[in-house]
Copies of this chain bind each other. A is one copy, B any other.
Amino acid sequence: MKIQSQIGIRQFRPRGGFVAQYQDLIREKMIPYQYEVLCDRAPGVEKSHVVQNFINTGRALRGEDAGDGFYGMVFQDSDAAKWLEAAAYSLALHSDPELEKTADALIDHIAAAQDVDGYLNTYYTVKDREKRWENLLEGHELYCAGHMMEAACAYYEATGKRTLLDVMERNAAHIYDVFVQNAHPGYPGHPEVELALIKMYRLTGNEKWLQLSGHFIDIRGVDPDYYRKERLKRTWTVWGSDGRDPEYQQSAAPVRQQKDARGHSVRAMYLYTAMADMASQCGDATLMDACRTLWQSVTARQMYVTGGIGSTVLGEAFSVDYDLPGDTAYAETCASIGLMMFASRMLEWEVKGQYADVMELAFYNTVLSGMQADGQKFFYVNPLEVVPGIADRAKTHRHVKTQRPAWYACACCPPNVARLITSFGMYAYGESADTAYCHLYAQGDVQFKNGVALHCETDYPYGFTVRYQVEKGGRVAVRIPGRVKAFTLTVNGKNTEAPVRDGYVYLRLADGDQVMLVLHEKPRFVYPSPRVPDLTGMVCLMRGPLVYCFEGIDNGGNVVDLLLDPRGEIREERFSDGLVRDTVKLEVGALRMADTEALYTDEAPACTPCKAYAVPYYLWGNRGENQMRVWMGKA
C-alpha cells in the first residue's frame, strides 16, 4: 500500500530561499559548534565527552587503558549519531571535505568501539558491561543503536561510504540474535530502532531488519506489565523507574489497540513513525488504522497551535485531550520533529493534505523556535507564553526557559534540529513510480527517481507565490494548504482546471512547462475550540504557516495587558531588529488595559486604544528576555 515515499537526500539541492538560509547556518555554525561541544572544546558548555567515550571504549576493547572511561547519560552515544546524521545530510547538500574528514574520523572511533559480537554502546562496554540488555525500560541501548543506524544510512546515502553502515548491520545482526533468535522478551523503552531498522532495510534490502522492526512493534504492550517484571529482575535502575506506568512508554496495550496518544511524547512520535512506515511497507491496514486513530488523538485534540505536542513536563508527556496550557507547555522541540516524521510517514499510505499541513506547522513554528536565529542556542521547551517574574521563578515553570541556553546536559534537541533542517528536502518532496509529490514549498532543484525534474522558486513562508520550472515532465502533485481558501494555479500562464483532491492538485506536465501557484493568503486571526479551557476568549494571529507572537520589546514592555481587536485590519511591515532579520511584523488594533494595583476590582479595566505588534513565533526570545504571548485576550 505504499503510495509514495520521501525522496533520497541527494535528490534535492537547495538554491537559496528561506530554508537554505537555515541549512547554511547549520552547516557554517551549528555543525562545527556542536562538534566542538561533542569534543568538550566549546567554552562554558555542559561537558559532553561523547567522542572521548568512543575513543576510550575502543582502547578498552583493544586491551589498552580506557583513560577516564565513560561520562554522561546512558544515551550519550546518540548525540554523536544525530550529529553524524546532520553532517551526512549537510554533506549531501554541500560538499565539504573538511567536515567529511571529521566525520570519517569519528566513524573510525565508533567502529573501533564495537565489540566483537557486534554490540555497540560505550556506556555498557566501558562502564557497566554486565548490565547489557537488562534494562530495556531505561537503558536506551536500542535507542542509541537506532540513531546510529539512521546516521549510517544517511552517511552512506550522502557519501557512498559504508564503514558505519557495515558496523550497524553487524550491530543489527547482534540485536536480531538477542531478541529474535534468543527470544529476549524485551522491547525498546524508548522507541527509535524500529524506524531506523526500516530505513536500513530499505537501503540494504535485508529483510531481517524489517522483520526485527516488526518484532519490536508487534511485541510492544502485549504484556503491559513487562517493564515492571523486568524491574523486579534486576537490582539497579538508571533513574529509579519502577516500570509501573506503561502509558509512559506506550506499552499499556498492543500498538494496534492504542486509541489515545499518551505518555512521553517523543517516544510516542518515534513509535508511531515506525508504525506508519511498517504499515505502508507491508500493506498492514490494521496497523494503519491504529496510526490514523493516534494521528487524530495527537493533532485534533492535543496539539498546540504552534504544532507543539506533549503539554506537560511530568514525563515530558501528553496530558489529556484539550489540556493545552500555554505558560507551562512542554512542547519539546524533539517532539515536533517526531511529529514531522510521523506526518511524513502517514503520507506514504495516503497522500492527504492534513499530514503535510501539520508537518509544515510543526516545522515553521516549534522546530524553528528550537534554535536561536544565530544557530548557537537552543530551546528544549517551547512555551506559548512567557512572563518574566513567573516563567523564570515559579516552580511549576522550572522547565521553561525565557532565553535559549547554549547546550543541555540532556542534549537531544539541538542535534535533532540540525538533522531535521538539513534533511528538509526529504520532507518537502516525495515520489511514487509515476508521480512527483510537492508536499512543502522548498526552493531548489529536485530530481525524482521516476524521471520528473523540477526547479522550484519561492519566498515562502513569507511570500505566497511558488514557481515550478519543469526540467523533465511527468505527473506532479502540488499541495494546497488546507487553510488556503483561494489560490491561482497556472501552467504556462493558463489557469488549470484540475481539482483539489485531498489537499493536492495533480498535474501532467511536459518538459519546459512553467507552473505558478499563488496562494491568496492574508494575515488572519485564529480561534481555539471552546473545548480548550485554557484558551477561552483568546485569539491568535497567523500569516501563512507562521504563528505570530507578541513580545514586550515590540510593545512598550508588557503584552499581558493587551486585548486585540479581531474585527480590525491586520497590517504588515517588513522588519529587522537585531537577530530578528528580514521578517514581516504584523500590526493590529488593540486596547491596553490600565494597570491596577488592586488584584480584583468592581470596575472594568480602563482601556486605551493602541496598536499591538507581533513577530513570527519561531523568532521569539532573540532580543533578550521579555514578555511573550501567542494567545491574546480579545477587546
Contact = CB atoms under 8 A, between A and B. Distances in A.
A393 interface: yes
A332 interface: no
Contact of A395 (B319, B394, B395): B319
Contact of A593 (B530, B566, B595, B633): B530
Contacts of A604: 525, 527, 566
A536 interface: yes
Given A530-B605, A533-B560, A319 B394 contact: yes
A601 interface: yes
Contacts of A597: 300, 529
Contacts of A601: 526-527, 529
B319 A599 contact: no
Interface in A394-436: 394-396
Nearest to A301: B599
A68 interface: no
A116 interface: no
Contacts of A466: none
A561 interface: yes
B323 A600 contact: no
B320 A394 contact: yes
B560 A526 contact: no
Contacts of A393: 320
A396 B538 CA distance: 22
Given A528-B599, A529-B595, A315 B560 contact: no
Copies in the complex: 2
A303 B563 CA distance: 24
Given A322-B389, A537-B633, A604-B566, A529 B560 contact: no
A387 B324 CA distance: 13
A348 interface: no
B314 A395 contact: yes
A128 interface: no
Interface string A525-567: 1111111111011100000000000000000001011010010
B537 A596 contact: no
A323 B527 contact: no
Given A525-B602, A537-B634, A602-B524, A595 B530 contact: yes
A322 to B, nearest CB: 7
A528 B319 CA distance: 28
A396 B525 contact: no
Contact of A300 (B314, B321, B394, B599): B599
Contacts of A394: 312, 319-320, 323
A388 to B, nearest CB: 11
Contacts of A323: 390, 394, 396
Contacts of A632: 536
B596 A530 contact: yes
Nearest to A598: B529
A321 B389 contact: yes
A526 B600 contact: yes
A527 B303 contact: no
Given A300-B598, A529-B599, A595-B530, A390 B322 contact: yes
A603 B527 contact: yes
A483 interface: yes
A604 B604 CA distance: 24
A299 B598 CA distance: 9
Nearest to A317: B395
Contacts of A536: 538, 560, 563, 632-633
A328 interface: yes
B599 A303 contact: yes
A595 B390 contact: no
A385 interface: yes
Given A312-B395, A527-B601, 5 more contacts: A322-B389, A526-B601, A529-B595, A530-B561, A537-B537
Interface of A: 299-301, 303, 305, 312, 314-315, 317, 319-323, 325, 327-328, 385, 387, 389-390, 393-396, 483, 524-534, 536-538, 558, 560-561, 563, 566, 593-605, 629, 632-634
9 closest A-B pairs (Cβ-Cβ)?
Answer: A537-B633, A530-B561, A536-B633, A530-B593, A314-B395, A320-B393, A319-B394, A529-B596, A323-B390
21 contacts: A300-B598, A312-B395, A312-B396, A314-B396, A319-B390, A320-B389, A323-B390, A327-B533, A328-B396, A387-B533, A524-B602, A527-B602, A528-B600, A530-B560, A530-B595, A531-B561, A536-B633, A537-B563, A537-B633, A537-B634, A566-B604
